[in-house]
Structure 1
């Protein structure tokens, strides 16, 4: 909605008015290669437009969103687009926000992990269950041998040991299940972390609540961004970014571009990719 409202205002007032006061005539004459122009907006969707009115709202983009320049870019030839290299800026911009999201996901996941004491208790219970299982299996084999030799009294004694071991094993299994259900800061809530947007999800949520999440603005925004980033990185693989002149230094490789500051990247579209969250 915010993006549509911005387009309408731009048509009515001009992009320079939306950027504020200072140099309206200068902003009105921006060229497509001007570093003040949002290149993510030209190529695709500016990240600032994806998450408005969500927990990850990035606020307004500090760069110019010009519908006229976007149309100019869309109608430009493939050779011109390759010369400008704005798709590299767009990919770098998306990479910045994807990596920020991945860090939040990793941090949220760590908060759900067991404490050292809970890990120790779990390991102890697993060992006890294993020992009781061995005792039971060994006892059953012993009873079989004693039965063949007619040692009835000894067989009954072994059977009593087996029953005791089975009872203790069942007790440990109940304790282990209870520990697994309640361990971690949010175990009683049975939370898990969405590996696309980093939001907490409850395993107890019904289908409607899960659908509200997966079709919500924040989840869809990160999902679309990840898919676009993957597709663009495959298209640019092996293609070096264009050489930028000195007057493009403000928005060159390693500088600011597209409304955000991203990590440096080398030639050939060699972007770092975080684990399979596409």
Structure 2
């Protein structure tokens, strides 16, 4: 427990992620985790009420985290875990209040028996009468125990429980009579009894108080941990009970309209299905049109490429023919030029021969 308390103190000083490595992922805070004290999140932890008193419950084994408590408070009011935490808190606190109420009853019985003990000590006849009652009660208790044992053996659990409850009541009455008969007091005990007659039981925490005591001592008692702790417990029980009733009323209202809500949700789902089918049909139509457009574009592209190749071949043929005609014309020009040169050469040669002949 000391280690746990030290760890909680370090968490408060350094944060809950004090041991997380730099490259390690930090766990997200969730008030539903089992490590957090559900009583602390609802109101307060009863373990913190009676520290260092006779009613000390010891340290709490869960973590008290203010951030988790804030997340709990901010959660939806009708959250099932939130309602469960409140009911658990209410049961635990109610059991503590029931225990102190039994303590108060026993304290009052103790004070009431003081006067009866005095009467029994000074009245032997009354003591003898009480002993007769005790003997009768012992016989009756033994009979009831046998009947309860027989009922339990036969499987009548409820009958056995009822008989044992009656048996416990008779035992309490028998013990009360025994306390009266054992009250043969000496002078010292008589003085103590007289003093007890001047005492009363606190209706909140069950402590014994002296009637007419000094105001300072009364104030010290009222400001003490036990008295204030049980006062806080009773107030919290009332508040949480009202909260639980409110939440249950809200949930009843929700359940009341569940059928209408379900029908409306069913109609809404049908509408969504129809819309989904329409969207699917439109989507398929768009995809079909897109495929058709794509095929058309591909066909047109192939046609353009084919036309381009045809036009390219025609141009090539035309250019080839042009170049061929151009070469033919070049050959003809060169041929004419060569013939002209041959003609001039023959003429010049013939003229020179005639001139030599004349000479």
TM-score (norm 2): 0.41
Distance in 2 (CA, whole Å) between partners of 1:204 and 1:233 is 36
Counterpart pick for 2:194 among 179, 187, 191: 187
Aligned to 1:11: 12
The CA deviation at 1:184 is 9.8
Distance in 2 (CA, whole Å) between partners of 1:185 and 1:93 is 37
Aligned to 2:79: 80
Q: 1:92 to 1:183 in 2, by over 3 A?
A: farther
Which whole-Å deviations, capped at 9, do the CAs of 1:66-113 have from their partners, x for residues lacking one?
A: 222112112223233775532111111211211121122222222212
Which whole-Å deviations, capped at 9, do the CAs of 1:246-274 have from their partners, x for residues lacking one?
A: xxxxxxxxxxxxxxxxxxxxxxxxxxxxx
**Aligned partner of residue 11 in structure 2, secondary structure:** helix
Q: Tell me if 1:196 matches 2:197.
A: no
Distance in 2 (CA, whole Å) between partners of 1:58 and 1:198 is 17
Q: Tell me if 1:221 matches 2:220.
A: no
Largest Rg, 1 or 2: 2
Contact 2:72–2:82 at 8 Å: present in 1 too?
A: no
Counterpart pick for 1:211 among 219, 232, 249: 219
Which whole-Å deviations, capped at 9, do the CAs of 1:195-222 have from their partners, x for residues lacking one?
A: 1011111113111111111122210110
After TM superposition, list the pairs within 5 Å mapping 1:103-252 onto structure 2.
Answer: 103-115=102-114, 116-118=116-118, 186-189=193-196, 190-237=198-245, 239=248
Q: 1:29 to 1:59 in 2, by over 3 A?
A: farther
Q: 1:91 to 1:207 in 2, by over 3 A?
A: same
Contact 1:7–1:67 at 8 Å: present in 2 too?
A: no
Distance in 2 (CA, whole Å) between partners of 1:58 and 1:210 is 25
Structure in which a larger fraction of residues adopt helix = 2
Q: 1:222 to 1:16 in 2, by over 3 A?
A: farther
**Aligned partner of residue 201 in structure 1, secondary structure:** strand
Aligned to 1:170: none
Distance in 2 (CA, whole Å) between partners of 1:103 and 1:193 is 12
Distance in 2 (CA, whole Å) between partners of 1:234 and 1:118 is 47
Distance in 2 (CA, whole Å) between partners of 1:16 and 1:110 is 54
Q: Which blocks of at least 5 consecutive residues in structure 1 are unaligned?
A: 18-24, 124-181, 243-278
Q: Which blocks of at least 5 consecutive residues in structure 2 are unaligned?
A: 1-5, 19-23, 124-188, 252-359
Q: How many residues align?
A: 173
Distance in 1 (CA, whole Å) between partners of 2:36 and 2:109 is 39
Distance in 2 (CA, whole Å) between partners of 1:206 and 1:16 is 52
TM-score (norm 1): 0.51
After TM superposition, list the pairs within 5 Å mapping 1:236-275 onto structure 2.
Answer: 236-237=244-245, 239=248
Contact 1:191–1:200 at 8 Å: present in 2 too?
A: yes
Q: Which one scores higher on RCO, CA 8 angstroms, separation ≥ 6?
A: 1
